[in-house]
Structure formats: structure tokens, C-alpha cells
A = this chain, B = another copy of it.
Amino acid sequence: MTQNAAQTRSLRTGVPNREAVSSEASESIIEAMGTRMAFKRNAEIYGENEPADYLYKVASGAIRTYKVLTDGRRQIGAFYLPGDVFGFENGDLHTFSAEAICDSKVVLIRRGTIIGLAARDNSVARELYTVTCRELERVQEHVLVLIKSAEERVASFLLEMAKRTPGANQVQLPMSRQDIADYLGLTIETVSRTMTRLESVAAIALPSSRCIVLRNRATLGRLNS
């Protein structure tokens, strides 16, 4: 649960880092100028429709953003891991809520500060734009996942998490089955059953429920896109 703590690489993993230098430079501004805050498991970082005064960067732990629909269903918009930036909005209000999935540390920086910097410094403006585009790509990927079958969704999710968790074929999931289900638009039972099925066809191994070992990426990938 705290296995991510040491990881302080500046760029979101899994993104080919074209512009790595400028990214490093201006994203580190966030860290340099921001204030570090700790959030306990399930603590709210911000709520839907609250003023979006800050940008956030995950230092350790994991964050989920979500919306609760009128009928009570919860849709998770994204999971953010160490190095990821979240919380920027088009308007002045947050369109999602954000919570810590597990005990997490987050760096905050005033949005106004960034906006002000961006107005004067082109590289900051470009960085802001890049982060937004990255987010756009991420959401577009999410759309492509949501039209697939349950098995494909879970496979895609596991591959995505593996890509974002550097290192081996082993992934420690910080989030619950319910979180995964709400992210993939499935029920918790379907996620569970699908995992079991993937294990039974030797695509993955499940040493424990939160620990997934990718045993056959080809099989998982075939289910992908």
C-alpha cells in the first residue's frame, strides 16, 4: 500500500516524453513553488462544483476523481499516480471530485500563480497546454475502453496500470474492486469474475487480490484494441 512512496520521477509514466526537458523544468516549478499536503485514505481533496483554486501533483499514493450521478452510480474519471498532475479545469469550478485512494501526499500550487506565470513565460504556457492535451488523450483512451467487452476492459485496465507502474510485470493495485468497476463501467462482481477468468487462462496471476502479475501480455493485448 505504500510501495509507491519512493517514486518521485517527474513525468507521468507511459507517455513518450517528447519535450521531456521543458516538462521537467516547468513541472518542477509546481513542486518548487507548491506546498506539500498529506491526505488520509478516502479523504476528499476537492469536491465537485467547488472553486478550482489549485493544481495538484501526486507525490505519493494514489488519487481518484469521480462524479456521482443522480441515480447514485459513481463514475470514476481517472486514477492519478505519483508524478501525475490533476485538478485543472476549463472553468472556475471542479467538474469532478477528488479523493485519496490510500494515504497520499500531494503538492498544491495556486492556479492563479500558474496562470500568471503562463501569461509571462511561454514555456509555462506551453507546459500547461501539454498537460491538458495529455489529459485529453487519456480521456479519449477511456472512451475507447468503455465500448469494449468486460474482459477487454479489464485487460486494458491492467495493461494501463502496468504501463504506468514502472518496472516488472507485477502491479500493486492501490484501488478496490469497486473503484475499478466504477472506472470501467462494470459491476464489482463482473470485475472479480473477469479477473478470475484471466487467471484461469494464465493471462495473469493473483498472489493476492491487490497484486496482479502479468503472465501473458500477448493474451491481454489481443483483448485490447
Q: Which residues of A contact B (CB under 8 A)?
A: 18, 67, 69-70, 73, 75, 77, 89-91, 95, 119, 122, 125, 128-130, 132-137, 139-140, 142-144, 146-147, 185, 225
Contacts and interface: CB of A to CB of B under 8 A. Distances in A.
A79 to B, nearest CB: 14
Contacts of A144: 67, 69, 75
Q: Output the residue of A95, A139, A142 with the most chain B CB within 10 A.
A: A139
Contact of A225 (B69, B77, B136, B146): B69
A115 to B, nearest CB: 10
Contacts of A122: 119
Contact of A70 (B95, B139, B146, B225): B225
B147 A73 contact: yes
Contact of A143 (B130, B137, B139): B139
A147 B182 CA distance: 9
- Secondary structure of the A contact surface, majority rule: helix
A67 B140 CA distance: 11
Contact of A146 (B91, B136, B185): B185
A135 B130 CA distance: 14
A144 B183 CA distance: 11
Question: Which 8 residue pairs across A and B have the least CB separation, nearest first?
Answer: A90-B133, A147-B185, A146-B146, A139-B139, A136-B136, A69-B225, A142-B143, A132-B132
A90 B139 contact: no
Nearest to A89: B133
Q: Output the residue of A89, A133, A136, A225 with the most chain B CB within 10 A.
A: A136
Contacts of A133: 89-90, 132
Contact of A130 (B75, B90, B125): B90
A53 B12 CA distance: 27
A142 to B, nearest CB: 5
A75 B137 contact: no
Contacts of A139: 136, 139-140, 143
